[in-house]
Amino acid sequence: MARFYDVELGSRLMLGTAQYPSPAVLAAAFRASGAGVATVSLRREGGGSRAGEDFWRIIRELGVRVLPNTAGCHSVREAVTTAEMAREVFGTPWIKLEVIGNTDTLQPDPFALVEAARILLADGFEVFPYTTEDLVVAGRLVDAGCRVLMPWGAPIGSGLGLVNPYGLRALRARFPDVALVVDAGLGLPSHAAAAMEMGYDAVLLNTAVARAGDPVTMARAFARAIEAGALAAGADPMPARDMAAASTPEIGRAFLE
Amino acid sequence: MRIVLNGETREVRAGRLDAALAELGYRGATVATAVNGGFVPAAARPATPIADGDRVEVLAPRQGG
């Protein structure tokens, strides 16, 4: 079981709800994935439209927890206001805090992220900050009160996987008691398995499933990879070494020259 | 008066946010609101005045990653 603030979840997969070919495929992918959390957003609604309500009904029927995001926000004020609006609409203190600092890489602005996290935590939010693997920024977020950190694997939507495994391992080692979720950049189930093998608590992904040719099968593949990676992490993996070490005993080997 | 609703200029007669929302087709909708960049909770809409030139944002649930 993984714990996120005071909530224990059996599933270690958080799945996004964007970019699916249809609402039916979205729902089928969620069922196949076993995801325990769905990420959602807020966007402008036209007068007379009920698109938001229709979408919200689909998500509620999934029976999973929702994690609203502040995607697209570039300033502390935007992110805080969006979080406040999301808490009212979705009825949860959880917020995936994104404060974007670069439009090419969509990487977080760590300075604004820490400031926004402080404001939201003081207001009762349970903040899931989308951050980098930087140890110092992570420390500031934990000092501010974050009990979950969500470092990127790679830029959002890139599918590159874990581009800095050293940094992600260092983060895991430095913060053994903080829930860590690799968020963004995963493209393949093997990327998710690698994150879990490092001892991460969960992964959050969207595009890798939604943009696959067969999202439902890919969702199932991620579910199995995450389960395998988590099992492996709990089984105390052997240390890697540079030189060969024979596994078959030397004792009793025949001399046949 | 004219307000800027979700980035578009609109004419409204109502002087309070809840009435303006009803006038603009949002009656009963699942939305969150902000005026001039500040969150306005649903319970505060009846007491929130709307003035000429105000920027009103009306947001609803959407897909997200």
Residues from chain A contacting residue B6 (CB–CB below 8 Å): 44-46
Parallel, antiparallel, or unpaired for β A179-183 and A202-205?
parallel
Euclidean distance between CA atoms A167 and A160, whole angstroms? 15
Euclidean distance between CA atoms A71 and B62, whole angstroms? 11
Residues from chain B contacting residue A24 (CB–CB below 8 Å): none
Average pLDDT for chain A: 96
**Closest approach of B35 to chain A, Cα-based (Å):** 10
Residue A69 phi, psi dihedral angles, 5° rounding: -115, 170
State yes or no: is A96 an active-site residue. Answer: yes
Q: Which of A12, A87, A96, A140 is flagged as catalytic?
A: A96
**Minimum mean pLDDT among A25-29, A111-115, A195-199, A243-247: which range?**
A243-247
**CA distance to A16, A159, A206, A256, per residue, from A156 (Å):** 12, 8, 9, 58
Of A220, A216, A207, the C-alpha closest to A19 is A207
Res A9 pLDDT > 90? yes
Beta strands in chain B (DSSP E): 2-5, 8-11, 32-35, 38-40, 55-63
Q: Are B20 and B2 in contact (CB under 8 A)?
A: no
Euclidean distance between CA atoms A79 and B12, whole angstroms? 28
Q: Angle B58-A106-A219 (CA atoms, 0-180°, nearest 5)?
A: 85
Q: Which of A56, A81, A87, A158 should we substitute to test contact with B (largest number of B Cβ atoms within 10 Å)? A: A81
Residues from chain B contacting residue A84 (CB–CB below 8 Å): 32, 39
Q: Which residue of B has its CA nearest to A50?
A: B29
Interface of A with B in 13-32 (CB under 8 A): 16-20
CB contact under 8 A, A51 and B6: no
Residues from chain B contacting residue A69 (CB–CB below 8 Å): 64-65
- Would you call A106 helix, strand, or coil by DSSP? coil
pTM: 0.94
Residues from chain B contacting residue A79 (CB–CB below 8 Å): none
pLDDT at A257: 87
Express each pLDDT in A151-195 by its tens digit: 999 999 999 999 999 999 999 999 999 999 999 999 999 999 999
| A240: exposed, middle or buried (Cβ count in 10 Å: 0-12, 13-18, 19+) | exposed
| A86 close contact with B: CB closer than 8 A | yes
Of A59, A48, A51, the C-alpha closest to A90 is A59
For residue A86, the number of C-alpha atoms closer than 13 Å in the C-beta half-sphere is 30
Q: Are A97 and A117 in contact (CB under 8 A)?
A: yes
Provide the pLDDT confidence category of residue A97 given band limits of 50, 70 and 90. very high
Centre a 10 Å sphere on the Cβ of residue A204 and count the other Cβ atoms it contains. Answer: 26
pLDDT at A1: 81
Q: Are A172 and A198 in contact (CB under 8 A)?
A: yes
ipTM: 0.96
CB contact under 8 A, A85 and B5: no
CB contact under 8 A, B61 and A56: yes
CB contact under 8 A, A53 and B63: no
Residue with tokens 């992904």: A205
**CA distance to A112, A119, A169, per residue, from A135 (Å):** 16, 21, 11
**Closest approach of A85 to chain B, Cα-based (Å):** 5
Express each pLDDT in A201-215 by its tens digit: 999 999 999 999 999
Q: Name the helix (H) or strand (E) containing A223.
A: helix A215-234
Centre a 10 Å sphere on the Cβ of residue A76 and count the other Cβ atoms it contains. Answer: 20
| DSSP structural state of residue A69 | B
pLDDT at A255: 87
| B37 close contact with A: CB closer than 8 A | yes
Express each pLDDT in B24-36 by its tens digit: 999 999 999 999 9
Res B12 pLDDT > 90? yes
Q: Are A112 and A137 in contact (CB under 8 A)?
A: no
